[in-house]
Amino acid sequence: MKSKKELILETALDLFAKKGFNATSTSKIAKAAGVSEGLIFRHFSNKDGLLQSILDLGKERSVKLFEGISELELPADKLKYILQIPFNIPYTEYAFWKLLYAIKWQADKYDEEISNQLKSIVIDIFNQLNYPNPELEAEFVMMLFDGMATAVLLKDSNESEEIEKLLLQKYNIPI
């Protein structure tokens, strides 16, 4: 059975992703979760603390999405795997990724950890592939990654599979 703490976290993530952090009041969260408003502050101190807990949990889960990378041998396979991540975000994780990308634009709340983590993996890959400028090349991949993730998350696109194919093809990666 779900604890009330978990219920608050889930409900808040849901509302934050849908309406935005600032447009979602703690009273609305409490009402939607069916708990008293005071309990939110008992568990998370304040609204920012609630957001941080949501982000931390999401990060833990997203690490698992990245774990598949290290199991691959060839750097080209690793790159392919990474480029495919935006198209393989589990539907249950949409809310978290939406929140993550929406928060990017709020200077004070933005958390670069996930992005930086992935970027250093990509730099390693381009090093292994002997690219002349691995750092720059990684920056470019991250840009692609964000563009794709945005497209997937915002339009519930029916053609995301075709875009995925097009991307791999443009990156000279066999499908």
Partner DNA sequence: TACTTTTGTAAGTGATTACTCACTTTTAAT
Partner DNA sequence: ATTAAAAGTGAGTAATCACTTACAAAAGTA
The least distance separating DNA from the CB of residue 10, rounded to whole angstroms, comes to 14
Contacts 24+ apart (CB under 8 A), 13-17: 13/54, 13/58, 13/95, 13/96, 13/99, 14/95, 16/51, 16/54, 16/95, 16/99, 17/94, 17/95, 17/96, 17/98, 17/99, 17/102
Single-letter amino acid code for the residue at 49: G
When binding is defined by CB under 7 A, the residue of 10, 20, 26, 65 that contacts DNA is 26
| Residue 160 · residue 88 · CB < 8 Å | no
Q: Does 4 bind DNA (CB under 7 A)?
A: yes
Q: Does 28 bind DNA (CB under 7 A)?
A: yes
Residues that bind a copy of itself (CB under 8 A): 18-20, 22-23, 98, 101-102, 104-107, 133, 136-137, 139-140, 142-148, 150-151, 154, 159, 162-163, 166-167, 170-171
Q: Does 25 bind DNA (CB under 7 A)?
A: yes
CA–CA separation, 36 vs 32, rounded Å? 10
Which of 30, 23, 38 has the alpha carbon at shortest distance from 9?
30
In the list DNA, a copy of itself, none, the entry touching 144 (Cβ below 5 to 8 angstroms by class) is a copy of itself
Q: Does 39 bind DNA (CB under 7 A)?
A: yes
The least distance separating a copy of itself from the CB of residue 144, rounded to whole angstroms, comes to 6
| Residue 61 · residue 93 · CB < 8 Å | yes
Q: Does 3 bind DNA (CB under 7 A)?
A: yes
Quick note: the x/- pattern for DNA over 43-62, rule CB under 7 A, is x-xxxx--------------
When binding is defined by CB under 7 A, the residue of 11, 24, 53, 62 that contacts DNA is 24
Which of 34, 29, 71, 63 has the alpha carbon at shortest distance from 46?
29
Interacting residues with DNA (CB under 7 A) = 3-5, 24-28, 35-39, 41-43, 45-48
